[in-house]
Structure 1
Amino acid sequence: MHPLSRWWMRRRHGAGEWGGLFAAAADGEWVSLDLETTGMNPAKDHILSLAAVPVRDGRLRLSERFERRVHTARAFGIESIRHHRITPDEASSGEQVTDVVRDFLQWLGSRRLLGYYLGFDLDMLAPHVRALAGFALPNPVVDLGGEVAILQRRQRPDAPVNLDFAHIAETLGVPMIARHTALGDATTVGLCWLALQRRGWPAN
């Protein structure tokens, strides 16, 4: 979000229920976010689970994580189940998405968001955030893939960029943890970010 837009939104909404989203973001802290969904189309698919893990002071704070299963009555096929390993019965026993997103926003506050192809997750959250708050999520964001792309281009300008998640993790010496689960992927992204920091990245 452009700083001017954030300033205007803070003036308009900073004293309301969601004022905590506009506080100054703490230095040296990120929240690694991942969603599992019924598919890859934000216009028609639904959130099945949401997990977020704080990354602070060089450590992944799993004990402070946010993790919820989300209810959906929408049918989804075997390929979707093979991907995220959530069955329709499990999905039907989750919490209502409005309740999950409300609790997540209150837990998140103004912290910076971190993710792998984070734009998709934010697109999935966007209609629910707008329905609750009346505006788009204002938090600063950092995309692991984008940062790795910049680093790869600096290190090897003539080589093709490889942003495959498993390749990024392997290159950084990070194990893939519970792949295609919200908590597992959020944890892996957080560990990759810590590995990048140990290498002096981001440089600024």
Structure 2
Amino acid sequence: MHALARWWMRRRHGAGEWGGLFAPAPDGEWVSLDLETTGLDPARDHILSLAAVPVRDGRVGLSERFERRVHTARAFGIESIRHHRITPDEASTGEQVTDVVREFLHWLGPRRLLGYHLGFDLDMLRPHVRALAGFELPNPTTDLADEVAARQRAQRPDAPVDLDLVHIATRLGVPMIGRHTALGDATTVGLCWVALRARGWPAD
């Protein structure tokens, strides 16, 4: 979000329930976010689970994680179940999405968001954040895929860029944790970010 737009929104909303989102972002801290969804169309699909973990001081704070299963009554097929391993019965026992998003925003505060192709997750959250707060998330964002792409191109400008998460994790020496679960992917991305900042992108 542009600094002027953030300033205007802080002036308008800073004294209300969502004022914590507009405080200065803590230095050296990110929140690695991941969603599991019924599909890949933000206009039609629904959130099934949301997880986030703090990343600071070269560590991923699993003990401070935010993790929620989200209720949906929308039917979804076997391919979706194979991907995220959440069944319709399990989805029906989750919390209401409005309650989950409200709790998440208060937990998140002004911290920077980190993710892998984070734009999709933000697109899925956007209508729920707007319905609650009346605006889009103002938090600064960092996308692991964009950062890795920039480093790959800097090293080998003419080589193809490989942004598969398994490839990124393998090159950075990070184990894949609970692939295609919200908490697992959020943790893996956080660990990749720690490794990338500490060691850079490994040369071929």
TM over 0.5: yes
What is the CA distance between 1:108 and its match in structure 2?
0.2
| 2:72 paired residue number | 72
Alignment correspondent of 1:95: 95
Equivalent AA in structure 2 for residue 17 of structure 1? E
Distance 2:108 2:174 in 1: 25
For 1:153, give the aligned amino acid: R
TM normalised by structure 1 equals 0.97
Aligned partners of 1:176, 1:62: CA distance in 2, in Å? 15
Identify which range, 147-156 or 192-201, moves more after superposition.
Answer: 192-201
1:34-183 alignment runs, 5 A limit: 34-183=34-183
CA deviations on 1:81-137 (whole Å, 9 max, x unpaired) are 000000000000000000000000000000000000000000000000000000000
SS in 2 for 1:132: helix
Partners of 2:44 and 2:200 in 1: CA distance: 40
Gaps of 5+ in 2: none
1:40-91 deviation digits (Å, cap 9, x = unpaired): 0000000000000000111110000000000000000000000000000000
3-state SS of the aligned residue for 2:27? coil
The structural deviation recorded for 1:200 is 4.9
Distance in 2, Cα, partners of 1:110 & 1:100: 17
Structure 2 counterpart of 1:41, which letter?
A: D
Matched residue, 1:192: 192
Corresponding position of 1:31: 31
Aligned residues: 201
More divergent stretch after superposition (157-166 vs 64-73): 157-166
Determine the C-alpha separation between the residues in 2 that align with 1:200 and 1:176.
19
1:197 Cα deviation (Å)?
Answer: 1.1
Letter in 2 for 1:174: V
CA distance in 1, matches of 2:6, 2:111: 14
Aligned AA for 1:115?
Answer: G
Once the two structures are aligned, what percentage of the paired residues are identical? 84
Shift, 1:199, TM fit:
1.5
Q: What are structure 1's unaligned runs of at least 5 residues?
A: none
Q: Which letter does structure 2 place at the counterpart of 1:12? A: R
Mapped partners of 2:90, 2:200: distance in 1: 42
SS in structure 2 of the partner of residue 187 of structure 1: helix
What is the alpha-carbon distance in structure 1 between the residues aligned to residue 63 and residue 56 of structure 2? Answer: 12
Indicate whether 1:6 and 2:12 are aligned: no
Secondary structure at the residue paired with 2:10? helix
- Cα deviation, 1:135-158, whole Å, max 9, x if unaligned, reads 000000000000000000111111
Letter in structure 1 aligned against 2:116: Y
Letter in 2 for 1:74: R
CA RMSD across the alignment = 0.7
3-state SS in 2 of match to 1:72:
coil
